[in-house]
Amino acid sequence: MDLDYLKNIPVFEDLVPEDLAVINQVTIERRYKKNGTIFAEGEPGDGFHYIKSGKVKIIKLAADGREHIINILGPGEVFAEVLLFNAAPYPATAVALEDSCIGIIRNSELEKAFLAHPRIAFHVIKVMSKKLLFAQMKIKSLAFSDSNAKIAQALDNLARRYGKKTSRGVEIAVEITRQEVANLAGTTRETVSRVFGIMKKDKVLDDDERRIVVLDLEGLRQYYEG
């Protein structure tokens, strides 16, 4: 049995083979095309999700239809874990940013695994704690930062997680529009265009239709650390 894919998921990476086999046994695998909806806000919660391959964005829709991106996730990351031990609807919508393979463990099956294998529960709780910290930091950023800082932090986070070094600089290996950057930073497309113009003038950033290249990471961080 090939369990190597589970070792690339932080919540499971330190588990012994016997525990990995348990997780593999209760996992349902589903594939989604680019822009496919994995689940929609308000639908009955199905279970714990993790990304085997591809990328996923978690979004909230405002009453006027505007989209706010809560997070962009890649291989090995988990989502919908907020529903653990709670029979509740999904609090947000998950959409595949590219063709993706998603592992799903239904709540009832995961609870059984937790009871039988406490080490699994311990690792899941650790991941939830890290995500809670991320959410708290983002709320603080949105509350106290100006637009330049919000956009710079969003780009820095993307560069840290999905950056690939090239001859030009660090390319963010996610196809993302200026509107999506705005949604992620909690601002408007017009503001992103204005800030991108400033960053280009400062030789910190370059972008084309859907790719962003950070030319100077330290310069980027000065927008919110300086």
Please count the other Cβ atoms lying within 10 Å of the Cβ belonging to residue 52.
18
**Is the confidence at residue 1, as pLDDT, over 80?**
no
- The whole-number pLDDT of residue 106 equals 86
Mapped onto helix, strand or coil, the DSSP state of residue 210 is coil
DSSP state of 169: S
Say yes or no to pLDDT of 178 above 70.
yes
Does pLDDT of 31 surpass 90?
Answer: yes
Task: Answer whether residue 57 shows pLDDT above 70.
Answer: yes
Distance between CA atoms of 123 and 126, rounded to whole angstroms?
Answer: 5
Question: Which ranges in the chain are annotated with CATH 1.10.10.10?
Answer: 145-225
Calculate mean pLDDT across residues 189-195.
93
The yes or no reply on domain 4-142 and CATH 2.60.120.10 is yes
Mean model confidence pLDDT for the chain: 85
Model pTM score: 0.72
Are 27 and 4 contacting, i.e. CB atoms less than 8 angstroms apart? no
Q: Degrees (nearest 5) of the Cα angle 120, 121, 126? A: 100
Choose between 36 and 132: higher pLDDT. 36
Q: What is the CA radius of gyration of the chain?
A: 19
- Residue 145: predicted pLDDT: 64
pLDDT in tens, 61-100: 877 777 788 889 998 888 887 777 677 888 899 999 999 9
How far from 153 is each of 89, 147, 216, CA to CA, in Å?
30, 10, 14
| CATH 2.60.120.10 location in the chain | 4-142
Task: Give the pLDDT score at 120.
Answer: 83
Q: What is the pLDDT of residues 104-118, one digit of tens each?
A: 988 888 888 888 888
What are the tens digits of pLDDT across the range 199-220?
Answer: 999 999 998 767 899 999 999 9
Residue 141 pLDDT grade (very low, low, confident, very high; cuts 50, 70, 90): low
The yes or no reply on domain 145-225 and CATH 1.10.10.10 is: yes
